[in-house]
Structure formats: C-alpha cells, structure tokens
Amino acid sequence: MAHEHGKSLRVTTGVVVVGLVAGAGYGGYNLRQWADNWNRAAEKSVAPPQADAAIAPQLLTWQQAGRISTGLASVKSFAILKDGSVIVAGERTLRLLSAKGDILRDIPLAGMPQAVAAMKTPQGPVFFAGMKDRVEMYDAEGKLFSSWAITGDNAFVTCVTAGADGRSVWVADAGRRIVEQYDLTGKLLREVGRENPETHAPGLVVPSAHLDVALAADGTVWVNNPGRHEMEAFDAHGEMIRQWGRAGSDIRAFAGCCNPTDFFLLGDGRIVTAEKAMPRVKVFDSAGVLQSVIATDFAPEAAGIDVAGDSAGRVWILDPVSHDLRVYAPKAPAPGGLAGNL
C-alpha cells in the first residue's frame, strides 16, 4: 500500500480497526480478531452506499495499460522501485517482481507483512517490512539486519513511508491511531495525528483497518482520517494546515463508514485515493477538487486497495481480491508521475 512523495517511496495497507465510533474501545478483542472481524462490523454499522450515477465522461481520463499477477495467495501493499521493479508484501513474504512480472526474489518473513517501503540509506538500499507491531529492515539481498518494536498497547502498523532524507521512516499505526517518524535505529522523532486544539488537529478516527501516510516534496505530511472521511495535511511542526473531504456515495465524496483507506501523492501534488465498501480509485488535486476517476470495476469485497505512481505518470493498483497489479495510464499526456528512489 506507499508510497511516491517527491523523493521517497512508500506503500500502504489496510489493517486494523479502532472501533465502530470515535473513541470506541477495543473491548475484549485481541489484535488478530480486530484485524479479521471489525472491518465487517464497521461496514454493517452504516447504511450500504448506493450505486453511483453515471460518471461524467470528462472524469474518465485513464485506461488500463497492463496487468501483472503477483502469484501470492494474499497481498497487502507494494512499492515501485526506480528501475521499474516492484516489491509486494503478502503471504508472509516480500516478493520482488520485474516490471514485466517475473519473480526476481522472495524474502521470507516470520509473519504477515502489513506494509512495505524501499529507500536508499547511507548503508545502501533497504526494504522495510511493516509487521503488526514492529518494523524490519532488509538489505538488497533480503538479509534482515535491523528491526525495532512499535511500543504502546494495541500497536498495529498499516503503512511505512520512507523519509526524504534517507535516514528516517514514517509509520502509520492504526491500532493506536497515530502516525510517527522514526530514525533507522527505531528512535521516535515526532508524531502527528493526535487531537490537539493548539495545532487545530481533530484527532484520527480509525473505525476500520486502514491508516496511511505520505510525504509531499515540500515536507508536508499527508494522512488519511477515514472515520472523518477526510484527507489532512500537517506541517513540519505537526500543525494541521489543510483538510478536505466529506462523506457520501456521490463520486466527489468518500462512501461507507470510513474512507479513503489508502492514498498516494503524485509528483505534481495530485492525490490518488482508494475506497472500500464502494470500491473505487480517484484522483484529486491537493485542495480536494476531483480531477478524474481511474477505476471502479472491483469486486464488492475489495478493501485495502493499495495505490502508487511511477516515473512514467502511470498509476498502479494492487487488487486485494484478484491479487494482481493493475496498471493505468492517462488517455492523454498528463503532468506528474513519481519515480522511486532505489
């Protein structure tokens, strides 16, 4: 699922839920039950969204340009590397695929990865696997050389995003409803997302298993607030500087109990969003004005649709039901696109 944002490469994923309403507790459920069961409970707590009216033709500016099978029985997230290869997290594995879909390497993991990211560091290129309550770092050959635990009760990582400096990562923790920046030793540097009247932050509402984070080229930190049906931007001091979004089934809104679930920042500042309940992938400008609709032809149960962009201006979508990577290109040349950094 991040990715990317200016210079870094990120990926996200859906994971765990916080409760059916803001501030709801975890009750007697453990984290695994939370991840497996509460998404369905959250969706049942609201009226099912109605089908969209016909989408205006001027919004349909993308076409599918390719499809790659991951060969995995389950998938969570992916990242695009600078050379065009792709790393996919799923089925207790990080799988590196060529741009054509050939398997280049499998990195076996001890558990199910929830997120993946890639970055160049002073020590060389690394892959990050976001596990339930820890972050693991692997070298280019797939050797684990560092990891650290995410402290705090109910930690559940859903996104890892590489920092632009090559020395830190951002971690979205859906379990604790917080986004944190760590250095590569696991030292906590800062956080965003907590309710704070002084910085105008309303707090993250995460009623289902999805929380994402991405970095803009200017250092702005973007976070989805799915329970509020919003996208939110924070400056370097953690102060909220922008928020937009609203609930609704119409194409310009976010449907269901808690959307968007995943997003990605293109190089020109546009934001690609993904939704569940009424699965669809759309493109907004940074102010929240809908620019285009990429795809709506997903299985109804598709949730945690990870998205990313490449250096050619295409958008890649990881379908959690078919386990395929779907590649979309503009029908006409468009600015933007994002290169990876490995």
Based on the structure, what is the number of domains in the chain?
1
Provide the pLDDT for residue 209: 82
- Across 90-99, 159-168, 199-208, the highest mean pLDDT is recorded for 90-99
Across residues 304-326, what is the average pLDDT?
Answer: 97
Provide the pLDDT for residue 113: 97
Residue 5: is its pLDDT beyond 90?
Answer: no
| Residue 333's pLDDT band (cuts 50, 70, 90) | low
Residue 30: is its pLDDT beyond 90?
Answer: no
Map tokens 């402290």 to a residue: 151
Nearest of 248, 195, 193, 252 to residue 224 by alpha carbon: 193
Asked whether residue 292 is assigned to any structural domain, the reply reads: yes
Map tokens 């029985």 to a residue: 73
Asked whether residue 339 is assigned to any structural domain, the reply reads: no
Beta-sheet pairing, 115-121 with 103-108: unpaired
Residue 120: is its pLDDT beyond 90?
Answer: no
Residue 3: is its pLDDT beyond 60?
Answer: no
Distance CA 41, CA 191 (A): 29
Work out the percent of the chain whose per-residue pLDDT is above 70.
82
- Mind listing the pLDDT tens digit for each residue in 178-189? 999 999 999 999
Asked whether residue 4 is assigned to any structural domain, the reply reads: no
Q: In what order do the strands lie in the sheet with 144-149?
A: 115-121, 124-130, 134-139, 144-149
CA contacts within 13 A on the Cβ side of 243: 19
CATH of the domain at 84: 2.120.10.30
Write the Ramachandran bin of 35: left for phi over 0, alpha for psi from -120 to 50, otherwise beta. Answer: alpha
State which residues form the domain around 110: 10-48+56-330
Provide the pLDDT for residue 237: 82
Asked whether residue 184 is assigned to any structural domain, the reply reads: yes
Provide the pLDDT for residue 53: 53
Strand partners, 183: 168
CA dihedral 308, 290, 66, 113 (to 10 degrees): 30
Q: Which residues contact 141 (CB under 8 A, 6 or more apart)?
A: none
Asked whether residue 335 is assigned to any structural domain, the reply reads: no
Across residues 37-63, what is the average pLDDT?
Answer: 63
Burial letters for 163-202: b for 16+ Cβ neighbours within 10 Å, e otherwise? bbebebbbbbbbbbbbbbbbebebeeeebbbeeeeeeebb
Asked whether residue 179 is assigned to any structural domain, the reply reads: yes
Provide the pLDDT for residue 232: 96
- Mind listing the pLDDT tens digit for each residue in 210-230? 999 999 999 999 999 999 999
pTM recorded for the entire structure: 0.84
Asked whether residue 342 is assigned to any structural domain, the reply reads: no
Work out the percent of the chain whose per-residue pLDDT is above 90.
71
Provide the pLDDT for residue 23: 31
What is the helix (H) or strand (E) element at residue 41, kind and residue range? helix 31-44
Q: Which residues contact 232 (CB under 8 A, 6 or more apart)?
A: 201, 222, 223, 224, 225, 240, 242, 243
Q: Is the peptide bond before 260 cis (omega within 30 degrees of 0)?
A: yes
Provide the pLDDT for residue 152: 86
Sign of CA dihedral 66, 76, 246, 337: negative
Provide the pLDDT for residue 164: 86
Residue 20: is its pLDDT beyond 70?
Answer: no
Residue 166: is its pLDDT beyond 60?
Answer: yes
Asked whether residue 156 is assigned to any structural domain, the reply reads: yes
Residue 85: is its pLDDT beyond 60?
Answer: yes
Q: Using an 8 Å Cβ cutoff, are 157 and 172 in contact?
A: yes
Mean pLDDT of the chain: 84
Provide the pLDDT for residue 25: 32
Greater model confidence, 16 or 134: 134
